[in-house]
Amino acid sequence: MVTNSQEPVDELAGEISSAQSDVNSLQDDVQLTSLRSDVEDVDNSADGLPQRIADLRSRGYVFDKDLEGRVQDLKARWDQQRGLVLSEISRQNSELVSDLHGIEALMAQVVARASDPAAARPVLAQAKSAISSLGSKADAAQDAVKSMFSAFASDLDTLKSRLDKVDWMLIQLSQACFTLLATEAAVMAVEAVWIKAGKESADDPRGVLYLTDQRLIFEQKQEIATKKFLFVATEKQKVQQLQFEFPLSLVEGIKPSKQGFLSHEDHFELNLASGAPFHNLHLHLLGQDGNAWQGLINQVKSGAVTQARAVAVDQAMVDKVKAAPTQCPVCGGAITQPVLRGMDSLKCEYCGNIIRL
């Protein structure tokens, strides 16, 4: 049997092409391109924080008075770390590029011996080993430099996530069918389902749950199928309406829980005092943590959120609440309705008299 003498040369050419492709793919790795992009993203995010917070303030967010200070601290930290990170990127890049030049020299030798497989293969094997080693070295360099600012990036992402939630809340509030009371301010909002009877169903209202510094408010905001064909909605109607609101002073107990498949759903149940529209309330939170909401509600009730206001409440409004009557001037009945800042009147539950504040 006669062997085609061209086959080893062709086979070698394929291996050389594959190795050269691996070398080409290392170009971005040795330049640490993705790492430089990460640093640029951190730069842009950190630089944009002051304006972003100013925007949220201008749209009515009055809490987290330490936000501006936290941003200054973050930027100061980054100013200290950034130079070290860039210096290390440059050092690692120089070493990696030097190694790459060595590989390119080996590949040049391989190509020069491409017509002599016996002479080329030992050099090709050396080049392949160097390519694999350089890939591992580039990965290690990436990890080493990232570890220099991973804690900072994590803190930055945490703050950005907080601002994202506030931004979403303000957008929803600007579209709401209700208005807040004078000096009342929104603390947080979350998409939620109001579970009316034990188990969640498709008929349960879905919308936005708002926590303010005085109330809990739920606005239904969803599209509801008005016509179906073979279980597929053919016509829909947007429903947006206030479902309930009540003072936080009526919240007596909060029980967050994890439910659903693999316990991935966040729920919480409220026990409410007399005067609230319900005795119990069950809500499924979509995308936020029930324990975090329990903490927020408790902070509002304790006054901690008010103490963290960047803009103080008008003292005249506070005094007005303190001076509110405890008895109806007409029938003498006790006023049990909680008085909130921004309210301009009360209605006596006994005689119906409207009491101006």
pLDDT for position 233: 66
Per-residue pLDDT of the chain (357 residues; tens, 9 = 90+): 445 667 888 899 999 999 999 999 999 899 999 999 999 999 999 999 999 999 999 999 999 999 999 999 999 999 999 999 999 999 999 999 999 999 999 999 999 999 999 999 999 999 999 999 999 999 999 999 999 999 999 999 999 999 999 999 999 999 999 999 999 999 999 999 999 988 899 899 999 999 999 999 999 999 887 676 666 666 778 999 999 999 999 999 999 999 988 889 999 999 999 989 999 999 999 999 999 999 999 999 999 999 999 988 989 999 999 999 999 999 999 998 899 999 999 999 899 999 998
Cα 185 from Cα 59, distance rounded (Å): 11
Q: How far apart are CA 68 and CA 132, in angstroms?
A: 47
Nearest to 185 by CA among 210, 164, 207: 210
Neighbours of 229 (CB within 10 A): 8
Round to whole Å and give the CA distance between 154 and 156: 5
Using one digit for the tens of pLDDT, what is the confidence trace for 112-123? 999 999 999 999
Distance CA 67, CA 162 (A): 10
Tens digit of each residue's pLDDT (9 = 90 or more) over 195-252: 998 889 989 999 999 999 999 999 999 988 767 666 666 677 899 999 999 999 999 9
How many other C-beta atoms can be found within 10 angstroms of the C-beta atom of residue 115? Answer: 10
| Amino acid identity for residue 55 in this structure | D
The tokens for 19 are: 């190795």
Q: Which domains does the chain have, with CATH numbers?
A: 7-174 (no CATH), 186-307 (2.30.29.30), 314-357 (no CATH)
Helix-helix angle 33-58:7-30, to 10 degrees: 40
β-strand partners of 203:
none
Radius of gyration of the chain, Cα coordinates, nearest whole angstrom: 32
> Which of 232, 203, 184 has its CA nearest to residue 343?
184
The whole-model pTM stands at 0.86
User: What is the spatial distance between Cα 49 and Cα 67, in angstroms, rounded to a whole number?
Assistant: 10
Reference 82, options 32, 149, 151; nearest CA is: 149
Q: Is 173 in contact with 210 (CB distance < 8 Å)?
A: yes
| Cα distance from N-terminal residue to C-terminal residue, the chain | 110
33-44 per-position pLDDT tens digit:
999 999 999 999
- What string of H, E and C letters represents the secondary structure of the chain? CCCCCCHHHHHHHHHHHHHHHHHHHHHHHHCCHHHHHHHHHHHHHHHHHHHHHHHHHHCCCCCCCCHHHHHHHHHHHHHHHHHHHHHHHHHHHHHHHHHHHHHHHHHHHHHHCCCCHHHHHHHHHHHHHHHHHHHHHHHHHHHHHHHHHHHHHHHHHHHHHHHHHHHHHHHHHHCCCCCCCCCCCEEEEEEEEEECCCCCCCCCCEEEEEEECCEEEEEEEEEEEEEEECCEEEEEEEEEEEEEEEEHHHEEEEEEEEECHHHCEEEEEEEECECECCCEEEEEEECCCHHHHHHHHHHHHHCHHHHCCCCCCCHHHHHHHHCCCCECCCCCCECCCCCCCCCCEEECCCCCCEEEC
